[in-house]
Structure formats: C-alpha cells, structure tokens
Amino acid sequence: MASGRIIKWFNDRGFGFIQDDGDRGNAGDFVHITAMPDAEAPQIGQRFDFDRVTGMDGRTKAVNVREVTSWGEAAYL
C-alpha cells in the first residue's frame, strides 16, 4: 500500500494524479473518480492511501483509494 497526495485533478474529466510520498520524482499515478471514496472529487494536496496497479497500457494507476484522516489513519469506507 502506498500513501500520497493529489497533485493534479481535472473536475470536468473526472481524473487526476496522485504522487506517492516515497516517489517524489515521478509524475504521479493516474486516479479516476470511481476509485475515490464516495466518488467525490478530491482537493489538491489531499492525502490518500492507495494500491498501485499496472494497467493494460503499461501505466500505473491508483485503485482502492482511501482518504487519510487528520490523525493519519485511512478511512475505510
């Protein structure tokens, strides 16, 4: 499981990118609105725990996304 922050989000398109805290050098992993808790659009900088998988196109994406609460624990919904 990885932890990171939303670095880009496109409300009109329903996707964005989340950057792993341990991998600051990459451009972020793709994340779709359907992977978000309650399918709500996140805010830039909002923290999440997530699982990383490789899609059929060879790019990584975030799945099983869980919001990290203010006390540092993932909110499993």
Per-residue pLDDT of the chain (77 residues; tens, 9 = 90+): 899 999 999 999 999 999 998 877 778 999 999 998 777 889 999 999 999 999 899 999 999 999 987 655 555 44
Report the pLDDT value the prediction gives residue 73, as an integer from 0 to 100. 52
Instruction: List Cβ neighbours of 44 (8 Å cut-off, separation of 6 or more).
Output: 6, 7, 8, 9
pTM greater than 0.85: no
Single-letter amino acid code for the residue at 25 = G
Domains in the chain and their CATH numbers? Answer: 2-50 (2.40.50)
Cβ contact 21:1 at 8 Å: no
